[in-house]
Chain A
Amino acid sequence: MSASTKAVRLAVVAAIAMVGLVATYTHVAAQPKEKVIKIVAKRFDYTPGNFTLKKGEPVILELTSADVLMGFNLPDFNLRADIVPDKVTRVRFVPDKSGTFTFLCDIFCGTKHEEMNGKLTVVD
C-alpha cells in the first residue's frame, strides 16, 4: 500500500468515526432530559415540603439527609428509599396518577418524627 492510499483510508476511517460520534451525540441530545427534584431531609422536615409533578413525566428524586438516617416513603406509588447521611440517593419515578399524596419519613428519627411528612401534587 502506498503512503497516499494509506492516508486516504485513514481519512475515511476518521470520517466514519466522526459521523458516528456526531450520531451518538445527536442521539443523546434527542433524549428529553429528566427533571431532577432535590429533596433535603433533616429532623423533622423535608425541603421542599411540597412539590408538584406532571403525570407521566419521569423525574429523578435526589434525596439527601442533613443529619441522621431518614426514610422517604410515598406509599401511594409504592416508592420508598433510605436517605443515608453523606450520600445522595437517586430514585427514578414516573407518576402515573394525579392528585395530592403524602410522603413521610418511615424511619423513627426523634421526638417530632411523626410530624415529618410532605405533600406531592401530580397534575395532568
Chain B
Amino acid sequence: MNDINRREFLKLAGLGGVGVVFSSALPGVARAADADEFYFLQLSDTHWGFEGPPNPDAKGTLRKAVASVNQLSYKPDFIVFTGDLTHTTDNPVERRRRMAEFREIVSELKVKNIRYMPGEHDASLDNGKAFKEFFGPTNYTFDHKGVHFIVLDNVSDPRATIGDEQLAWLAADLKRQRNDAPIVVFTHRPLFDLMPQWDWATRDGAKAIELLMPYQNVTVFYGHIHQEHHHMTAHIAHHAAKGLMFPLPAPGSQPNRTPLPWDPAEPYKGLGYRGVDAELKEAQYKLTEYPVVTKV
C-alpha cells in the first residue's frame, strides 16, 4: 500500500469505526530484496460452539466479523486464524460438527488465502486429530513477499508444550534463514510467561524464544488471551489479538480469568480483529484494530 492509498484506506476504515491503535517497528522488511508491500488480517479465538451470557449473539458474531472483513476497502493478501476456532467439547462428534460449521461460515470470506492454526480448545483433547482432518497441519512455514512466516503449535500437547520434536524442526528451519531475515511467528499461546496463574504461558516457550533470539527481525502474533496486548522479549515483539466471542480481563486485574460481561450498551465491546500492514517504505508493521460490526 503506498502512503496515499494507505491514508485513504485508513480514512475509509475510520468512517467504519476502525481505529489505528498501535504501531510497532518491524525492522527488516525493507531489507528483503524480494519484499513487497502487503497487508494481512489476524482473526482469533472465534470459539464457535460457545454459548452463554458473555455473548448473547454467539451464533451471529463470527458471521458479522466475516461480513465486516468482506466490507474492508482493501483486500488483505491473506487471513490468519490464530487458534480456538471452536469452543472445546468432550464429544468428538460435536467437535467435528463445530469445525465443519466454522469452515462453512468462513468460506464466505472473499479472501481465499486463509491460514489456520489450532488453539487448545480445538486440539488439546485429541492431540490435534480433528483439527488436522479439517484444516491440515498444526505447524508449518510459508513465505510471502520476502517475509518468512512460522506457525508454531503449542496446544496439541495438552501440557501446553511445543515439544522437543517441533523445537528441533524450528531450529532446522531457522538455520536456513539469514540473521536479518524478516520473520513472523504465529502461535496460539503466548511464548513468554504472561500470566502462568491463568495458564497464559507455554511451558517450553522460552526454548522457542531462545532459538529466535539470534534473528534480528522477529515479530510474534498470538491469540489465547482475548485482548490486545503488546510485550517485548529483548528485540522480539509479541502482539496478542482480541477474540471474536468474549473478551477476557487484563492479566491479574481480577481474581479469576472469567470472561468480561456483555455490555448491552456497547454490544461486541472488546471483540474485534486486526489488520497488519507491512510498510516497506517505513520498515514497519502498522497494526489496526477493527471492531466486529462495521458502522456504515
Seen from chain A, the residues whose Cβ lies within 8 Å of a Cβ on chain B are 69, 71, 73, 75-76, 101-102, 104, 106-111, 113-115, 117
A102 and B197 contact, Cβ closer than 8 Å, known pairs A108-B120, A109-B158, A117-B256: yes
Give Cα A114–Cα B196 distance, bound, in whole angstroms. 12
Q: Which residues of A contact B203 (CB under 8 A)?
A: 106
Is B199 in contact with chain A by the CB < 8 A criterion?
Answer: yes
Partner of B125, one of A73, A108, A115: A108
- The reply to whether B197 and A76 contact each other, CB–CB distance below 8 Å, is yes
Contacts between chains A and B (CB distance < 8 A), count: 40
Give Cα A113–Cα B199 distance, bound, in whole angstroms. 10
Min CB distance A77 to B, Å, is: 11
Total chain B interface residues with beta-carbon distance under 8 A: 18
User: Which residues B94-138 have CB closer than 8 A to chain A?
Assistant: 120, 124-125
- The reply to whether B196 and A73 contact each other, CB–CB distance below 8 Å, is yes
Nearest residue, chain A, Cβ from B196: A75
Min CB distance B120 to A, Å, is: 5
A104 and B197 contact, Cβ closer than 8 Å, known pairs A110-B125, A111-B88: yes
B 190-209 to A, binary, CB cutoff 8 A, 1 in contact else 0: 00010011110001000000
Min CB distance A15 to B, Å, is: 57
Partner of B158, one of A104, A107, A111: A107
Q: Knowing that A104-B198, A106-B159 are A-B contacts, what are 8 other residue pairs whose CB atoms are under 8 Å apart, sorted by A's residue number? A: A75-B193, A104-B197, A104-B199, A106-B160, A107-B158, A107-B160, A111-B88, A117-B256
- The reply to whether A107 and B90 contact each other, CB–CB distance below 8 Å, is no
Give Cα A98–Cα B229 distance, bound, in whole angstroms. 30
- The reply to whether A75 and B197 contact each other, CB–CB distance below 8 Å, is yes
Give Cα A71–Cα B158 distance, bound, in whole angstroms. 10
Q: Which residues of B contact A107 (CB under 8 A)?
A: 158-160
Q: Which residues of A contact B88 (CB under 8 A)?
A: 108, 110-111, 113
Question: Can you pick out 23 interface pairs between chain A and chain B where the beta carbons lie within 8 Å of each other?
Answer: A73-B196, A75-B193, A102-B197, A102-B198, A104-B197, A104-B198, A104-B199, A106-B160, A106-B196, A106-B199, A107-B158, A107-B160, A108-B88, A108-B120, A108-B155, A108-B158, A109-B158, A110-B90, A111-B88, A111-B89, A111-B90, A114-B199, A115-B256
Is B257 in contact with chain A by the CB < 8 A criterion?
Answer: yes
B 243-261 to A, binary, CB cutoff 8 A, 1 in contact else 0: 0000000000000110000
Min CB distance A97 to B, Å, is: 15
Q: Which residues of B contact A106 (CB under 8 A)?
A: 159-160, 196, 199, 203
Min CB distance B119 to A, Å, is: 10
Min CB distance B29 to A, Å, is: 36
Min CB distance A39 to B, Å, is: 17
Give Cα A101–Cα B252 distance, bound, in whole angstroms. 12
- The reply to whether A108 and B256 contact each other, CB–CB distance below 8 Å, is no
Nearest residue, chain A, Cβ from B258: A115
- The reply to whether A71 and B159 contact each other, CB–CB distance below 8 Å, is yes
Nearest residue, chain B, Cβ from A110: B90
User: Which residues B167-215 have CB closer than 8 A to chain A?
Assistant: 193, 196-199, 203
Q: Which residues of A contact B90 (CB under 8 A)?
A: 110-111
